[in-house]
């Protein structure tokens, strides 16, 4: 029996070896190289990190990135929860239609969707013309190349990553619990606050983690829909590489972004098991 276990372990190691080699060559080695590059500045090992921490412009970019990620995550959670709640209450036919509207945009390039939003959000675009026709506004809103446009575009791209985990959590809730709450005289607001929201908290936490992490690393949508005041860390890294040719500073900014993502994952892991982050259905 011992010999069989050793033989089985050897076979398993051989089967896993190609995957380990791919991960080591494609992820671990470049990551080590990036970390080494971040401390290779001529001024000293921590010069690049010191510059990122002390220059006001870079601190502003860091703050903008976090604020944008928080706003996009909050908006995605609110809209995603409403959509997920509607999905579980719709009939099968309508549910399939709404699901298609949520999931099908994932098959379209982010670049194509962002260019579409540029046409919609411009001053003479259909959105401003519609609002003007209704008399809601007197002049076109500055949505394009501004913070609201970036939020709208990013929420549209990230919404499926919020809807799916929340929907999965809501489908696991026994409807009898909601009926029991109503039968005991609780108002809809109380049922939502005391029953529905706590039971769906795991899905909400998973959705928040997904959307926040993806928002931190977004490049295309903020670059095309935002203005100079909406610069994010990924855009800053692109500037370091393509304009300043400052590789140590670009590597330091990349490692900072990676550290932020790992911190978010670590914080989320205290409330949501890591395995749950993969449970979206």
Look at residue 102 and tell me whether its pLDDT is greater than 80.
Answer: yes
Contact 162, 234 (CB under 8 A): no
Question: Which residues lie closer than 8 Å to 191 by C-beta, 6 or more apart?
Answer: 178, 181, 182
Look at residue 271 and tell me whether its pLDDT is greater than 80.
Answer: no
Q: How far does the chain reach from its first CA to its final CA, in angstroms?
A: 39
Domain boundaries, the chain: 1-38, 48-278
Q: Mean of the per-residue pLDDT values for the chain?
A: 87
Q: What is the DSSP letter of 135?
A: T
Instruction: Please indicate whether residue 234 or residue 278 has the higher confidence score (pLDDT).
Output: 234
Nearest Cα neighbor of 277 from 199, 212, 194, 216 is: 212
Tokens of 130: 């519609």
Question: Which residues lie closer than 8 Å to 251 by C-beta, 6 or more apart?
Answer: 34, 35, 37, 38, 40, 48
Contact 220, 114 (CB under 8 A): yes
- Give the model's pLDDT for residue 8: 57
Q: Give the model confidence (pLDDT) of 215-224 as tens digits.
A: 999 999 999 9
Question: How far apart are alpha carbons 216 and 265 in whole angstroms?
Answer: 12
Look at residue 7 and tell me whether its pLDDT is greater than 60.
Answer: no
What is the dihedral angle through the alpha carbons of 28, 29, 34, 37, rounded to the nearest 10 degrees?
Answer: 150
Q: Give the model confidence (pLDDT) of 13-51 as tens digits.
A: 787 788 888 888 888 888 899 899 999 888 888 899 999
- Indicate the pLDDT class of residue 190, thresholds 50, 70 and 90: confident
Look up the CATH number of domain 48-278. 1.10.3720.10
- Give the model's pLDDT for residue 280: 47
Of 11-20, 53-62, 190-199, where does mean pLDDT reach its minimum? 11-20
- Give the model's pLDDT for residue 96: 86
- Give the model's pLDDT for residue 281: 44
Question: Which residues lie closer than 8 Å to 6 by C-beta, 6 or more apart?
Answer: none
Contact 196, 178 (CB under 8 A): yes
| Global confidence as pTM | 0.87
| Burial grade of 199 (CB within 10 A; 0-12, 13-18, 19 or more) | middle
Assign 133 to helix, strand or coil. helix
Q: Which whole-number Å values give the CA distances from 88 to 95, 99, 142, 255, 273, in the listed order?
A: 8, 11, 37, 41, 24
């Amino acid at each position: 029996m011992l010999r069989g276990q050793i033989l089985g372990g050897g076979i398993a190691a051989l089967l896993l070896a190609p995957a380990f080699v791919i991960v080591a060559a494609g992820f671990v080695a470049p990551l080590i190289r990036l970390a080494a590059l971040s401390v290779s500045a001529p001024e000293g090992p921590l010069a690049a990190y010191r510059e990122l921490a002390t220059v006001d412009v870079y601190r502003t970019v860091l703050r903008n990135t976090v604020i944008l990620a928080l706003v996009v995550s909050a908006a995605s959670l609110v809209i995603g929860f409403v959509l997920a709640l509607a999905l579980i209450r719709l009939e099968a036919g309508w549910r399939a239609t709404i699901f298609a509207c949520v999931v099908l945009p994932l098959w379209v390039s982010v670049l194509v969707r962002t260019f579409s939003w540029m046409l919609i959000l411009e001053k003479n675009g259909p959105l401003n013309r519609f609002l003007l026709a209704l008399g809601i506004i007197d002049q076109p809103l500055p949505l394009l190349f501004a913070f609201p446009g970036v939020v709208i575009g990013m929420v549209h791209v990230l919404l499926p990553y919020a809807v799916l985990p929340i929907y999965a959590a809501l489908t696991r809730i026994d409807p009898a619990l909601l009926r029991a709450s109503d039968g005991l005289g609780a108002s809809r607001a109380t049922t939502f606050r005391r029953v529905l929201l706590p039971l769906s908290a795991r899905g909400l936490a998973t959705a928040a983690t997904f959307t926040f992490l993806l928002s931190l690393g977004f490049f295309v949508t903020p670059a095309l829909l935002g203005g100079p005041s909406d610069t994010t860390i990924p855009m800053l890294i692109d500037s370091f590489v393509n304009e300043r040719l400052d590789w140590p500073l670009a590597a330091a900014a990349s490692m900072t972004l990676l550290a932020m993502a790992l911190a978010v994952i670590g914080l989320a892991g205290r409330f949501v098991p890591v395995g749950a982050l993969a449970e979206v259905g």
